[in-house]
Every structure is written in structure tokens, then in C-alpha cells.
Structure 1
Amino acid sequence: MRKLPFLLLILTALASLPSMAICVLDTKPPYGGSPPVTMTIAPFTIRIDADAPADRSLMISEQKSTMGALVSYECVPGDIYGKETQAPLGPTTQDKMFATDIPGIEIRPIFSTGRATGRFPSTSKVSTGRVNFPATSSYSIEVYKTQKRLNLSNPAGDVVIGSGIIAYTWINTISPDTYSFRLQIGEIRIISTPVCRLDGEKSVDFNIVSATNVGNGVKRPLDFSLVCITDYGNYTASASLSTQTPTSDNAYIQVVDSAGNSDRLKIRVDDSNGNPLPVDASRAEVKSNIATDTPAKFTWNATLLRASGSALPENGKFNARAEIVLQVN
């Protein structure tokens, strides 16, 4: 019998504990606003050069969301609110950045009220009886390259991050269900462009030639190479030949002698396999699967020939010009 009053006291004490206050969404005039809002960023593709530096202070892309609307809550001072991220955005790395599906590409989401901006995540306490998320609010995402070399596989665009809701502002508890604003993004892709360097302009000096030399053909080497860095592991380089002064069959480059004649001499160019190259860029020599930062070498030859059976060029200097057209994939 002595235990009953003790139990009664416990029940009374439990019943007298105050309930915890939480912020309540207010959609009624004159102070209320709209229901929670989803802001969006459309799908986009980032384009970057393979030699772009890895730099956490240098954005490679920035995208801004659609605008919000006023979202208002009636609160009690001390209630909490804040910002959080979620998948498909990856885990945090450093400097308030987050990993993506491409190692070396990171995203920093930003929330703005129109007057102030903040990074993710964060938690704050309510200091008045109301919290307003203004209509001027929006999100943005900053994209950074944080690794010297990327490991890409799709020249049409590798997926950096899939579509989905990646960030939200919450109130009362950290949960996507308690959002006031949230950010829905479309799929983000990236395309890297190889960066190449050529070993300089090439000229072929035939030195002094005679009628006999020209009759037999005077051959000189025309070697060149280029080196490309790529985020796709290897690259393919093709080289073709083009001139503004072709012979009628597009097989030779016309040569102009010291008197301005262009029908006395011609030049044939052979590729690394000894096959004549047309001079209208209609056929190319292709070097495939060259490792990044490794030279693609071309060992061509240029042969000076007579263009007619009887007429000889005038004594003096002669010249011809053509362009090597390079393409890299």
C-alpha cells in the first residue's frame, strides 16, 4: 500500500513536463507564404581542356537555379533550422565541396537569400517568433577540377552526377521531409578536349638541284610529331596534306620558280608507309591508341620532280607551300 502514492507522484511529474515547440508552416495572409518550393537546374555539359589546372579556387562551371517564393514559419526562439545535402551528391571532401562520380571533379552547392549566401551543411537557431525564407532565395552549384588528370571514357560526355535532389534547407529536424527549399538538378556531364603541341613549323630545303637531279627526283625527309595530353587515356592523331596550289589531279604541289612559272616543277609527299598523299586532304595517315603525353610521330618524305617533259625551271630560288592538317580524337 505504501507504493501507490510513490507511483502517483511519478505519473504526475511525467504529465507535467512541457512539450517541445517546433516551427509551423504559415501559409495564411498577411504574414504567411507559399508551401515549400523545389528549385531546379537544368541538365548541362561541362567542357574543359585536358591541361586545365587542378585548383580549388578556380571554378570550371557555375550554374544558378530558378528562384524561390516566400516560405514562412511561426517559431519559438531556440528552434533550429539549417542546410543539408544528399545523394546523388557524394560525401564531403574539403572546403565545403562534395565528391561526384568523376574523381577529380567536385561540386560546392551554395544557398542564397538574395542578401546573404551560405555553404553546406549548416545549423542555426531561431532568434524570433518567425523564420522567413524570402522569394529572392536561390541555389547555385560551383564545379571545380581538383585532380591533375581525369579518368574519362566517353567522348560524348561522362556523367559527373545523375539527376536528383541534392540539397535542401530544413526546419526543426535534419530531414528531406522537412524542407522549405530544395534543389533538383538535371544530369551533369563533362567533355575534355585533348591539348596538343606540335614540334614547330616545318620547311624542306632541297638545296641546289640540277636537271639531272630533278629528272630522277630529289627526296628529302619531312618528319614531324605532336604530343597530346588527354583525359581519355590515349588519343588518335591523323595528318593529311592540303595546298592552295595543287596539280589538276590533286596528286602534287605546284612549285613556282624564280620567273614565276608554276608548270615546271612539282612535289609529291609520301606518308610514313611510303604511300603518296593527295594534296586536297582527302586521305590522312592515322596513328591510333597513342598514350597520353607520348609523341605521335610521322616520317614523311617530299620528292621534287619535273612537271613537264621538256621545259626546265629558270635558275634561282623556287618555292612551294602546303599545310599539314592535324586532327586529334
Structure 2
Amino acid sequence: MRLISKLFITCNFILLQPCLADCPFIKDGFESLSIPGFPIFLTLPAKTFNIDADAAAGTLIGKMSVAANTFNDVYYDCNKIPTYLYGKTLNTTGLTDLSNNTFAVGDTGLSILPSLTSKGATGYFPSMPRTLQVNPDSPYIVFTKNTSFEVQIYKRNAQLKLHDPQGEVVLPPTVAFITQWINSDTPGDNRAFTVNLGGVTIVSTPVCKTDQSIKDVPFGSITETTLNNGIKRDLHFTLQCQTDFGTYNAIASINARQRTSDNKYITVTDAAGNTDRLKIGITDSQGKTMNVDGTSSESKYSVQNNNAAQFNWSATLLRASPTLLPAVGDFTAHAEITFQIN
């Protein structure tokens, strides 16, 4: 009884793994307008897809596809049996079936929709094995070369769960990722199509905004006395980022095209066009003097997703000349604050 039980279980296992032996594969000697080909091996090429962190759930990130049209049709001879079994399978390692022909990719928040198209008809996964009757007048089962395979990548969740900002491999290279099979008695040839996966890499770009696109620092009316002491004003700003990595690092620097030769001050232009009377110095949140050529920076590390990174800088207006005073009227100075996000 134990032996019979084991044989029964093994038989069921083989049935689920489409390995029944009925239709021999044909390699040569077939008289037809179409030359029978060998089983077809294809590879969905490795691809890298880019996505913005604020893309909505359900966004199609990209597609990858491969066609078999450079091969010959694949033939199987089923003239010895009344019916034959066939189907298509997907290697679901690392995937979770979502029951709507899509599969979740681990816990990344991504999903995929694999499909094949043959003679204008599209089929999705999973596919239960199907049994069809053999036509006694035409017992040859043909898998056409006019078949293509496609995998669509979707952003399933509003926020992805990734770890590598440089690009994360979410689907590694996989052998026999997709197969289309028939119950052939030719060992190793029961798969008419075998499609390998080259791998999928996702590069997610954080999306950020500042509290103000233009930061105006008014110094108001000044006198020679107040100018001699230096006039300090707040230069506070925030940066808020949405990211798929849980946290982000924000690095801020400042660069002025017109600056002093030592790169420590922004050059000011007074009402008469003079540039040698006033200058502005910048200090960071800790009161440290910053260069204004982009070489100094302040960093905020491990800021939580969608939280603001706060920078509390100061701008101090100073005399650039010990003897010359600026012309009466408005004066201006310009600089750019640059952010680096990782």
C-alpha cells in the first residue's frame, strides 16, 4: 500500500509539472512548407527602469519584450493519441500571485504582468493545463514562431520599498522564467518555448520641493553706523522630499557668480553700479562661515520620507571697503542654493 501511495503522489507531481509523454518532437524529415524548428530559447534582456518617487500607484513603469520571429515554427507529432495536454508556466520565485494575472515582486511595492501574444491573441499567467483533441487529418501541433513575450512592470504601492538609490535589482536573472509546453515524449523537448529573464533594475528618483523657489532677504534701510557693525538677517529655508528609500540625505551649498576673490563673500551691486562697496557673508545652521563658490555645504542625514530638512542659515551685510560707502538707493546681490539628494 505504501508503494502504491508513493506512485500516486509521484504521478500527480509529474502531471503538475507538464511532463507526460505523448507527442514526440519533430526535428527533421517533415514534409511541409514550413521547416520544423528546434525548441526555442529566448531571453528578455536585462533592463533598467526609472521612476519618480511621487508617481501614483498603478503607474506603468515600463515594458520588456522579446519575439521569436527569427526562428522556425516548432512541431510536435500527436498522431498516436486522441487528445494532448499543453499550457504555459511562470517561475514564481520571489513573486506572489495577486489572482488577477499580476504578481507582486517581493515586498518592493512593484508588480508585474507577464503575457504572450501569438497570432494576434494574448494570453496571461497563470495558465491551467488544457486538453485538446487531436485532428486525425492534421495531427501535427505547431507552436508558431510568430509568438512574442512581454513583461510589464507596475508601481503597485504609492511608496516603493527600495534600498539602493543607485539602482536596485528587483528581479534577478532567472532561467526558464516563462515556458510554453506540451506533453511530449522527447526528453527535454517538451518545452516549445523557454524564456529566460535577464533581470530588472529600478532607479527611483526622489521628488523634492522647497518652501520658496526664490528666497528674498531684505536688509531694509541701512546707515553707516549699522553697516560698520554688520547687518545680520535670517536665511532660513526647508527642503521636503518624497523618496522610496524611507529616508533621504540633503546637502545644501551656495554659489554666487559675482563673489570676492577669496570666495568667502557675495559681491553686492549698489544703486550706482559699484561692486566694491558692499559684500554679504553666509553662515550655516551652526554659525560656520561658508564659501560661496559651492565648495562649502551643510548636510542633513536620515530625514524621514516626506519630512522637511530645515536649514537655518544667516546672511550678513558688510562693508567691502574701509573708506568707500555705497551709493544711496537700492542694492542687489544674487546667489544660488543647490541641493544634492541621496
Give the TM bin, normalised by the shorter chain: 0.7 to 0.9
Q: 2:334 is matched with which residue: 313, 321, 329?
A: 321
Residue pairs, 1:72-151, within 5 angstroms: 72-75=75-78, 78-88=83-93, 90-122=95-127, 123-126=129-132, 128=135, 129-151=139-161
SS at match of 1:213: helix
Structure 1 residues 141 and 260: alpha-carbon distance in aligned structure 2, compared to 1, 3 A threshold: same
The whole-number CA distance in structure 2 between the counterparts of 1:184 and 1:211 is: 77
Paired AA for residue 179 in structure 2 = Y
Per-residue deviation at 1:130? 2.7
Q: CA deviation at 1:138?
A: 2.0
Structure 1 moving runs of 4+ over 4 Å = none
SS at match of 1:47: strand
1:290 lines up with 2:293 in the alignment? no
| Matched residue type, 1:199 | D
In the alignment, what sits opposite 2:17?
Answer: none
Cα 1:226–1:41, aligned 2, differ >3 Å: closer, same or farther?
Answer: same
Q: CA deviation at 1:265?
A: 0.6
Offset at residue 43 of structure 1 (A):
1.9
Point out the more displaced range, 291-300 or 76-85.
76-85
Q: Which residue of 2 aligns with 1:236?
A: 249
Aligned partner of 2:183 in structure 1 is: 172
Measured after TM superposition, the shift of residue 60 of structure 1 is 0.5
- 8 Å CA contact retained: 2:88, 2:125: yes
Quote the offset at 1:224 in angstroms.
0.2
Does the 8 Å CA contact 2:266/2:281 hold for their aligned counterparts? yes
In the other structure, the counterpart of 1:278 is 291
Distance in 1 (CA, whole Å) between partners of 2:201 and 2:241 is: 22
- Could you tell me how far apart the structure 1 residues matched to 2:31 and 2:329 are? 95
Corresponding letter in the other structure for 1:309: P
- 1:132-281 aligned within 5 A: 132-164=142-174, 165-172=176-183, 178-200=190-212, 201-281=214-294
Deviations 1:14-45 (A, max 9, x none): xxxxxx99333222333351121111022222
Q: Distance in 2 between matches of 1:90 and 1:178?
A: 25
Give aligned pairs, total.
307
Structure 1: gaps (5+ residues): 1-19
Q: 1:63 corresponds to which residue?
A: 64
Q: Which amino acid letter does the alignment assign opposite residue 157 of structure 2?
A: Q
Identity score, percent: 37
Mapped to 2, the partners of 1:310 and 1:89 lie a distance apart of 74
**How far apart are 1:95 and its partner, in Å?**
2.2
Q: TM-score, normalised by structure 1?
A: 0.87
Amino acid at match of 1:278: N
What are structure 2's unaligned runs of at least 5 residues?
Answer: 1-19
RMSD: 2.1
Secondary structure of residue in 1 paired with 2:195: strand
Change (3 A) 1:183 1:89: farther
Query: Counterpart of 1:282 in 2: which secondary structure?
Result: strand
SS at match of 2:68: coil
1:30 aligns with 2:31: yes
Task: Tell whether the 8 Å contact from 2:108 to 2:162 is kept in structure 1 after alignment.
Answer: no
- Residue type of the alignment partner of 1:202: K
What per-residue deviation string (whole Å, max 9, x for no partner) do you get for residues 223-260 of structure 1? 00011111111111011110110111111111111111
Q: Aligned partner of 1:158: which letter?
A: E
Aligned-pair distance for 1:114? Answer: 4.7
Q: Which moved more, 1:204-213 or 1:146-155?
A: 146-155
* 115-124 or 140-149, larger mean C-alpha shift: 115-124
Work out whether residues 88 and 166 of structure 1, in 8 Å CA contact, stay in contact via their aligned partners in 2.
Answer: no
SS in 2 for 1:284: strand
Residues 176 and 210 (structure 1 numbering): CA distance in 2 closer, same or farther, change over 3 Å?
farther
> How far apart are 1:102 and its partner, in Å?
4.0
SS in 1 for 2:290: coil
Structure 2: which amino acid aligns with 1:59? L
Cα distance in 2 between the residues matched to 1:169 and 1:102: 28
Bigger drift between 312-321 and 31-40 goes to 31-40
- CA drift of 1:298 comes to 0.3
Q: Which stretch of structure 1 is more off in the superposition, 113-122 or 298-307? A: 113-122
Cα distance in 1 for partners of 2:287, 2:108 equals 44
Farther off after superposition, 114-123 or 307-316:
114-123
TM-score, scaled to structure 2:
0.84
CA contact (8 A) 2:211 2:237 kept: yes
Equivalents in 2 of 1:324, 1:177: separation in Å? Answer: 63
Equivalent-residue separation in structure 2 for 1:161 and 1:326 (angstroms): 32
**Deviation of the 1:66 alpha carbon:** 4.6
